[in-house]
Amino acid sequence: MNCEICQLKELDVEHFEIREVLRCILHTILFHRALGLVRPKDIDLELFEITYVQCGDVELERKTDEKIEQFIDRAEKHPNKKNQICLSFYEVKNKQPTWFTNKVERLYWEQWYINLNVAQHQKGHSGKSTSSKIVVDPGAEERTARRAALEASLRDVLFQIIRFVNEKKDHIPPVPNLEGVSFPYEITISSSSDSAFGMEMFKRMLQTGNPTMLS
């Protein structure tokens, strides 16, 4: 069983946008993996003109919100770092208990990496009062442009998810649970402090030419 990995397009988000962006992405993925009987719930983003779908599982919603809060805390503690959330779907394989291990093995068959580049707070907020007006006006335009770009990027990410779901269907194991999210999953948070993660990000930066590095 191969594990399909999907590296989603990196998004440059501001601190207050993390929650909405992550909710949107995570729930979209989970909706595609909740293959049991669901009543979809449409959720409108407040910051963007995007409507995403939740599978309607309350427990799922709670868990994802928990993880998102953890991510936000981590992003605050470690600014200027690439932060990543990994949504993994696994199968539980009960290994035969040996004298080494008695734990349940998880066999990941799918992993989604959500890469967020949390932007720093703009220095213009602490600027002088005299020049605050001058600073705010171009700042507002910049924010608007950045917001529009982020919305477009987020839409691209969602389409990326849909395409991936469409293209990769064979690796999905048989559905164990018909209720809610059919497959066990886990959400892990990692930052660029991790070596592997850092290498990955470095490679991506070299390839894409991250604008934050160029600024």
Q: Give the Cα separation of 112 and 202 in Å (integer).
A: 19
Residues in 158-177 at the binding interface with another protein, rule: CB under 8 A: 158-159, 161-162, 165-167, 169, 172, 175
Choice from 138, 179, 193, 194 touching another protein (CB under 8 A): 179
* Phi, psi (deg, nearest 5) at residue 3: -105, 120
Number of amino acids touching another protein (CB under 8 A): 35
Give the nearer residue to another protein in terms of CB position, either 76 or 179.
179
Query: What's the CA gap between 166 and 209, in Å, rounded?
Result: 29
Per CB under 8 A, which of residues 112..131 are in contact with another protein? Answer: none
Q: Which residues contact 125 (CB under 8 A, 6 or more apart)?
A: none
Identity of the residue, 69 or 179, whose beta carbon is nearer to another protein in the bound complex: 179
**Which residue, 107 or 152, has its beta carbon nearer to another protein?**
152
The pair of structure tokens assigned to 68 is: 């998102």
Whole-angstrom Cα distance, residue 119 to residue 15?
7
43 vs 86, beta carbon nearer another protein: 43
Which residues inside 30-49 make contact with another protein, applying CB under 8 A? 31-32, 35-42, 49
Residues 53 and 78: beta-carbon distance below 8 Å: no
Gap between the Cα atoms of 110 and 137, Å rounded: 45
Residues near another protein, by CB under 8 A: 28, 31-32, 35-42, 49-53, 55-59, 155, 158-159, 161-162, 165-167, 169, 172, 175, 178-180
